[in-house]
Structure 1
Amino acid sequence: MGRRLVGAAGALLLIGTMAGCGGDEEAAGSDEPVVVEITFADGGVTPVGDRVEVQVGEPVDLEVTADEAGELHVHSDPEQELAFDAGTETFEIEIPRPGRVDIESHDLDQVIVTLIAQ
């Protein structure tokens, strides 16, 4: 019976160690930003109305490619206005609390993407 207890304790220790390693791998992967590609061309924008799930506090890169200067409005708390020039620019943002954050162009009166922070 003693051997069974030692074997069971060893198995539990091994499972606990493996679970701990898995948690570390997930945490390491969360440092990579979520990339949202936004393209302004010929008076329009893509995407239109997409939803993207992100984790609270996770970096989000808004990669903007535009044929003319403009501005993104990030309806977070606090709200952010991100001005961009023609060409390609990347803006890093984070969503500090759970909820929905719309990113839109007021010039086009369109929601480009909605971030769902969990």
Structure 2
Amino acid sequence: MRRLMATTAILVSTLTLVSGCGEDTPATDTGDIETIEITFEDGTVTPNGERVEVGAGQPVDLVVKADEPGEIHVHSEPEQQFEYAAGTTTLKLTIDQPGVVEVESHDLEQVIVQLEVS
């Protein structure tokens, strides 16, 4: 009987240690790409200041459809600038720091989208 109890105690201790050494689940899923469509047409842009939630380190694709070339500014740390051509351009970015990051057009003096990074 003592042998059975000792074996059970060792088995329970081993299982507890092994389960405690497992991988932690990441706080955010960085595998899914967040795609945001942006349209520049006749001197206007859509979306217009919407807030989009993304995870820290999550890839973001800005799919820009534009009637003329231009530039987008991402007010992250460090700041980023992306040029786009007339037609469709996909701009890829990743924000690692939590917070709210504005994506804007300086030419139009307008916030396009706010990325709420958590």
Q: Percent identity?
A: 53
RMSD of equivalent CA atoms? 2.2
- Deviation at 1:31? 1.0
User: Following the alignment from structure 1 to structure 2, what is the Cα–Cα distance between the partners of residues 105 and 97?
Assistant: 22
Q: In terms of Rg, which structure is larger?
A: 2
User: Following the alignment from structure 1 to structure 2, what is the Cα–Cα distance between the partners of residues 107 and 113?
Assistant: 15
User: Following the alignment from structure 2 to structure 1, what is the Cα–Cα distance between the partners of residues 113 and 71?
Assistant: 14
Map of 1:105 onto structure 2:
105
Matches within 5 A, 1:60-71: 60-71=60-71
1:33 aligned to 2:40? Answer: no
Q: Tell me which amino acid in the other structure corresponds to 2:91.
A: F
Matches within 5 A, 1:1-118: 30-118=30-118
User: Following the alignment from structure 2 to structure 1, what is the Cα–Cα distance between the partners of residues 81 and 95?
Assistant: 15
Higher helix fraction (1 or 2): 1
The one-character-per-residue Cα deviations of 1:28-80 (angstroms, maximum 9, x if unpaired) are x6412000100000110000010000000000001100000000000001101
Q: Tell me which amino acid in the other structure corresponds to 1:93.
A: L
User: Following the alignment from structure 2 to structure 1, what is the Cα–Cα distance between the partners of residues 56 and 44?
Assistant: 30
- Deviation at 1:100? 0.8
Runs of 5+ consecutive residues of structure 2 not aligned to the other structure? 1-11, 13-18
Normalised by the size of structure 2, how large is the TM-score? 0.75
Comparing 106-115 with 29-38, which one deviates more in the overlay?
29-38
- How many residues are aligned here? 99
User: Following the alignment from structure 1 to structure 2, what is the Cα–Cα distance between the partners of residues 88 and 41?
Assistant: 12
Runs of 5+ consecutive residues of structure 1 not aligned to the other structure? 1-8, 10-15
User: Following the alignment from structure 2 to structure 1, what is the Cα–Cα distance between the partners of residues 83 and 92?
Assistant: 13
Tell me, what secondary structure is at the counterpart of 1:73?
strand
Q: Tell me which amino acid in the other structure corresponds to 1:41.
A: E
